[in-house]
Amino acid sequence: MECRNGRNGNGKLDGARRLGIIMGIRRRSRELAMQALFYMDMSKNDSQEMVKLFCDNFVHSKNALPFFLKLVNGVIHTRPQIDPIIERFSSNWKMSRMSCVDRNIIRLAVYELLFCDDIPSKVSINEAIDVGKKFGTQESGAFINGILDGILIALEKEEINIEVKANKTN
């Protein structure tokens, strides 16, 4: 029996409702991660003290915290590998010339593409585009999509250093 509240009559959430909740939590985690990375990028300080300060003030959902921390810490630790890949596929755009919002959304998505095998590539790209449309400029979605599509094609053709992908940080 299907109930209006997404429960199937036995007190448990059905699969579709559970997936929707998980996806909502992950979207919130990505948005918070972008904001935290933006904050650290602007202050030029990506220390764990800054992560903690951000969490204490802005991360109020215990459900969003684990994925948020995985993304933020993952990007911080792999940025030396991620940034050159982004520059390679950004059609003559230096990282410093990109808007801080776009730059950090792309970093998050590239981290997911390279190091989060449990997330389908298209999901990572679509989420990045949606977050870009929400927080960036009118052009952010297309700009982010163009760079990430190029990176995905290169990954599929194994044109990006496989050693990067082998260094899992999960």
Which domains, ranges and CATH numbers included, belong to the chain? 15-166 (1.10.940.10)
Secondary structure (DSSP) of the chain: ---TTSB-SSSSB-HHHHHHHHHHHHHHHHHHHHHHHHHHHHHT---HHHHHHHHHHH---TTTHHHHHHHHHHHHHHHHHHHHHHHHTSTT--GGGS-HHHHHHHHHHHHHHHH-TTS-HHHHHHHHHHHHHHHS-TTHHHHHHHHHHHHHHHHHTT-S-HHHHHS---
> What is the model's pLDDT at position 162?
55
Report pLDDT digits (tens) over 117-166.
Answer: 999 999 999 999 999 999 999 999 999 999 999 999 999 999 997 564 54
**Cα gap 93→91, rounded to integer Å:** 6
Mean pLDDT of 20-31: 81
Low-confidence winner among 5-19, 21-35, 56-70 (lowest mean pLDDT):
5-19
Mean pLDDT of 6-34: 68
> What is the model's pLDDT at position 92?
80
Q: Over the chain, what is the mean pLDDT?
A: 86
pTM: 0.83
